[in-house]
Amino acid sequence: MIRATVRLTRWTALASLALVVPGVLLAQDSTTYKNHLYDKFSVSADFTTVLNRSNARLDAANGDAGTTLDFKSVLGISGTSIQPAFGLAWKPGRHTELDLGYQFINASGNRSFSDTLRIGDDTVSGNIDAATKLGSSNATLQFKYSIWAAERHNIGVAIGLGAIFFSLKFDATADGCAGPNCASGSLNVDKSFTGPTGSIGAFGQWRLGNRWYVGGDARGVGAHVDRFDFSVFEGDLNGRYYLSNRWGLGLGWYYTNVTVNVGAKSGSTLANDLVGKVAYAYSSLRLGVIGVF
């Protein structure tokens, strides 16, 4: 009788423990692991492997089209480079968010080849030795509105504005001709512009576990602003793992395709004003650190 009572007590204790422990663990889980879908402030710093497939065309003042300069095959700029990127996110409410991002893209290249290039009002031909410095960094600002904001997912719409900071320095010598009248054997081109961009689309983020998150977004638009005609498509897929409530790691794939046709400024006499077309296409693999505040 005593043994039966002891066994019954043990089984009762085990059954009670089996019922109580999950509740305790659930309570610990909800208090220990923060839901990072709704962080108030977060910052990120990434190393990005940029796969650049861009090109540019610099037209003459009279409207004659220049040569399309593929950055890799014509200018000798590597199609792959390591660049930094930074991000800042502020979520004033459960349904609203502002994201600011900046992707650095700066590269240089050297190439010797035989060809004829028309760059703006200048021409260089023959056996060409060229050195190029290129800048095509971009900034983005997104406003996000969550339509479905739940504990395990956050899905909504996004409106983005941005800018491309493009610059091209091209120094070449040729045994044929160079310059506007082929009067010398050297050519120096320094062109730049800041072009506006914009996009409209959707985003989604999902919490897979206590620490794991995945998400993505896609946006696009075509528009005319001042002397710029542009079309934009942007998208990304990303995953995050949080080491603590303050720090996490991020891995993502990003794709950007922007085409900008640049008209001349009215009455412009600036020597470095760029007129022509920039086809700005790159993808990048990002690995970085996330801080939550």
Whether residues 88 and 4 fall in one domain: no
Whether residues 163 and 287 fall in one domain: yes
pLDDT at 47: 94
Across 9-13, 137-141, 149-153, 212-216, least confident range? 9-13
Q: What percentage of residues in the chain have a pLDDT greater than 90?
A: 55
Whether residues 143 and 8 fall in one domain: no
Whether residues 217 and 240 fall in one domain: yes
Find the mean pLDDT for residues 45-70: 89
pLDDT at 93: 94
Count of domains forming the chain: 2
Find the mean pLDDT for residues 264-269: 61
Find the mean pLDDT for residues 32-46: 96
Is pLDDT of 162 > 80?
Answer: yes
Whether residues 16 and 47 fall in one domain: no
pLDDT in tens, 76-98: 999 899 999 999 999 999 999 99
Whether residues 176 and 144 fall in one domain: yes
Is pLDDT of 46 > 70?
Answer: yes
HEC secondary structure over 117-156 = EEECCEEEEEEEEEEEEEEEEEEEEEEEEEEEECCCEEEE
Contact 36, 247 (CB under 8 A): no
Whether residues 142 and 244 fall in one domain: yes
Per the prediction, the chain carries an average pLDDT of 85
Q: Copy the structure tokens of residue 5.
A: 């009572």
pLDDT at 16: 41
Whether residues 194 and 214 fall in one domain: yes
Q: Confidence class of residue 171 from pLDDT cuts 50, 70 and 90?
A: very high
Q: Confidence class of residue 272 from pLDDT cuts 50, 70 and 90?
A: low
Whether residues 26 and 139 fall in one domain: no
pLDDT at 18: 41
pLDDT at 214: 98
pLDDT in tens, 122-151: 888 889 999 999 998 999 999 999 999 999
Q: Domain residues for 177?
A: 38-292
**Beta-carbon contacts of residue 65 (< 8 Å; ≥ 6 apart):** 57, 59, 118, 276
Whether residues 162 and 230 fall in one domain: yes
pLDDT at 103: 95
The domain spanning residue 98 has which CATH number?
2.40.128.90
Question: Structure pTM?
Answer: 0.81
Whether residues 23 and 117 fall in one domain: no
Give the largest CA-CA distance in the chain: 116
pLDDT at 182: 66
8 versus 288: the higher-pLDDT residue is: 288
Whether residues 88 and 111 fall in one domain: yes
Angle at 37 between CA 34 and CA 43, to 5 degrees: 90
Q: What is the rounded distance in angstroms from the CA atom of residue 2 to the CA atom of residue 289?
A: 61
